[in-house]
Structure 1
């Protein structure tokens, strides 16, 4: 009987770690209204803390990828989980809005950003040759799984016990995963005398992967400088910024308060967002499987186009109860939510080679910049206009633009020329 390759155990530990850190991703949507009621802060003020978090969540990513190369995934991820636990747990003592920005924004932002999606990209690059796309999809779905687990729990705790219990639950979940990561996660298969799953011989880590001089930050900046000279980097980065704007920034942050504006109970809205997490898991895993078989540029174009059309319809679907039309949107949007990640990781790996994980870190940074801008902009729009309609329609149009850009992503062919693939 063939024994289980250690890569699967490492991937399982990573999946649990991502779930543990994902508790905070469910927090803002659930707590915006309770914090508004408890402290009298405006929705724009609370959204600012979310924006700082999303910004750091992204900007840390390329440096985290380089730090994982230099110090190892285990150390970086364990420290990241401790930051998430501290930032979430200390919110129970806050009395002013700047403290929310410091804790939610800075501490938790640094923690979540230090593992984020680059953790999945780095791990699959080191531990898998076969099934890379599939495993990337599964690990990416870990965030959705965490959202699925935490959203209804946090909504119920907030309703029954208050928002502080929800914050403490997130802190406890992140803290509980630290021992698992420390004792079971390993940085490379070569470290324990193995080869990556599907590899025929051990991988020699080249300077492109481990740069002893200049440090992790210097390498991250160098990789950005080189990548930014290419058009395909900007197509990926701008498209992913729009992806972040339309998911974490808008739906993830404002769907629950927007539904509440239309008379829907927060627990019902949180349950709908959790259902998005259910279908997100299926959509992301399937997208990873497709990324091993279908041109990832085509996948991105289709995903963004369908997302844009669904957002243009969403404002008409809100009601005091979850109507069938809203349920159709929830299922569809869930399937599409993080489906963009596996093809984006695949393109970064294919185009930029050994620097692919760090390049994806920068592309992911743009994702979170887009999310941060829209998280605040949507909150301010709601404060001034009394509704979110402009935010929904604007995000829909931007997604259609992302679909167009994805269809124009270029790849370098053997003779050095750049060739563009037109979709449709």
Structure 2
């Protein structure tokens, strides 16, 4: 009974070709913005700077990588804040305000002195400077234009992170090799500034009266009284644990299994390509199949992936495991940005997304550290990978427990 209260959206009767074009333009612009946003330029590019910084300053790899923890903690803290601001002021305004500060914060790393405390402070300031550029700003904008093709539109927007994940680490490595790490930070900062013209000329803030998309829904307080809210948070804690463990530990795991360093570092390319495919394919599937079924399929693939990793993969099984993991990781935020309008409506989209994103970061931070401890204790990644297979199946159970959509577009 409860699952059917306020279940339908207003008929899409006033959607014109102009509004449709604005919606698709916003989806493509969101992909461009996310490809040069902080999700890529900080999280995915960080690893390329570890060895150059160690060579210049002699800080040691553990001390340098500790900055990544400061980055993750800052992301976790600011995600709900960004969500609240997006719901209050709109995504486009936040993107325009944040883009110059984020680009300049990366460029400022050119002047980094030999000081670990300043280095750590920088990785707190950089994600703060990019407050409005994390995915929820773009995804809320895109979601506001679509009802029937919501999944596909969100998939296009999210694909930008996948493309950036493949291209930016390569670009960063080339810049470092050719000009040094300081100039590489200047290059990344210049790339970040591209988000401003993209947002100014291409992004459009949706107006519900002109798009035919229902803008109402649950407040955060009301959503938190519903079982799906807590199921989603629990699921994204577990998804964070799965995805972060694979991304962080994949290369050393493959080296433990006997693969050479050159081969081990190439295997993640399969993950990156699968991630891009999953961004688009998941969006298309979500318009046709329920969230529960889509995520169950990906999580079964994730179970196979971690079991292959547990068995000590060879080159071919490692490629298969990486591809299956990439499909799961690529699907996660397509699913999150789709299920919020379906289960809670659009009213508190940014706030709910930010809280779930923070939960994801918590799961990832805990699991990545715990798996490292497990590897040292047992001398192998096998126990941790077997545990992750159980986590995948538990996550299937959480998604299957969500029940029917509360804000269903099937009658629009």
TM-score of the pair, normalised by structure 1: 0.78
Counterpart Cα distance in 2 of 1:160 and 1:380? 37
Alpha-carbon contact 1:85-1:171 (below 8 Å) kept: yes
Match of residue 392 from structure 2: 399
Counterpart Cα distance in 1 of 2:190 and 2:233? 34
* Deviation of 1:63 (Å): 2.5
Alignment of 1:147-166 (within 5 A): 147-159=165-177, 161-166=179-184
Match of residue 328 from structure 1: 320
Count of residues paired in the alignment: 385
Q: 360-369 or 117-126, which moves further after superposition? A: 117-126
* Deviation of 1:235 (Å): 1.5
Alpha-carbon contact 1:237-1:366 (below 8 Å) kept: yes
Alignment of 1:383-394 (within 5 A): 391-394=384-387
* Deviation of 1:406 (Å): 1.8
**Does the C-alpha gap of structure 1 residues 241 and 109 become closer, same or farther in structure 2, counting only changes over 3 Å?**
farther
Counterpart Cα distance in 1 of 2:366 and 2:128? 18
Alpha-carbon contact 1:228-1:234 (below 8 Å) kept: yes
Q: 1:369 and 2:362 equivalent?
A: yes
Q: Secondary structure at the match of 2:204?
A: coil
Match of residue 238 from structure 2: 242
Alpha-carbon contact 2:343-2:405 (below 8 Å) kept: yes
Q: 1:11 and 2:27 equivalent?
A: yes
**Does the C-alpha gap of structure 1 residues 257 and 340 become closer, same or farther in structure 2, counting only changes over 3 Å?**
same
Match of residue 74 from structure 1: 92
Match of residue 218 from structure 1: none
Alpha-carbon contact 1:51-1:371 (below 8 Å) kept: no
Q: Secondary structure at the match of 1:338?
A: helix
Q: 1:272 aligns with which of 240, 253, 267?
A: 267
Alpha-carbon contact 2:79-2:355 (below 8 Å) kept: yes
Q: Secondary structure at the match of 1:348?
A: helix
Q: 1:296 and 2:291 equivalent?
A: yes
Q: 1:310 aligns with which of 288, 301, 305?
A: 305
Counterpart Cα distance in 2 of 1:161 and 1:270? 23
Match of residue 133 from structure 2: 115
Alpha-carbon contact 2:26-2:142 (below 8 Å) kept: no
Q: 1:100 aligns with which of 119, 123, 131?
A: 119
Counterpart Cα distance in 2 of 1:138 and 1:65? 21
Alpha-carbon contact 2:86-2:350 (below 8 Å) kept: no
Q: 375-384 or 279-288, which moves further after superposition? A: 375-384
TM-score of the pair, normalised by structure 2: 0.80
Alpha-carbon contact 2:87-2:351 (below 8 Å) kept: no
Counterpart Cα distance in 1 of 2:56 and 2:382? 26
Alpha-carbon contact 2:374-2:384 (below 8 Å) kept: yes
Q: 1:88 aligns with which of 95, 106, 128?
A: 106
Gaps of 5+ in 1: 210-221, 415-424
Counterpart Cα distance in 1 of 2:173 and 2:374? 25
Match of residue 212 from structure 1: none
Q: Secondary structure at the match of 2:288?
A: coil
Counterpart Cα distance in 1 of 2:378 and 2:106? 31
* Deviation of 1:287 (Å): 0.9
Q: 2:41 aligns with which of 10, 13, 23?
A: 23
Q: 1:344 and 2:336 equivalent?
A: yes
CA RMSD of aligned residues (A): 3.3
Counterpart Cα distance in 1 of 2:61 and 2:389? 22
Counterpart Cα distance in 2 of 1:36 and 1:378? 25
* Deviation of 1:290 (Å): 0.9
Q: Secondary structure at the match of 1:337?
A: helix
* Deviation of 1:270 (Å): 5.1
Counterpart Cα distance in 2 of 1:119 and 1:304? 27
Q: Secondary structure at the match of 2:348?
A: helix
Q: 145-154 or 162-171, which moves further after superposition? A: 162-171
Alpha-carbon contact 2:311-2:382 (below 8 Å) kept: no
Q: 1:50 and 2:65 equivalent?
A: no
Alignment of 1:214-293 (within 5 A): 223=220, 225-247=221-243, 249-256=244-251, 264-265=260-261, 269=264, 271-293=266-288
Alpha-carbon contact 1:61-1:114 (below 8 Å) kept: no
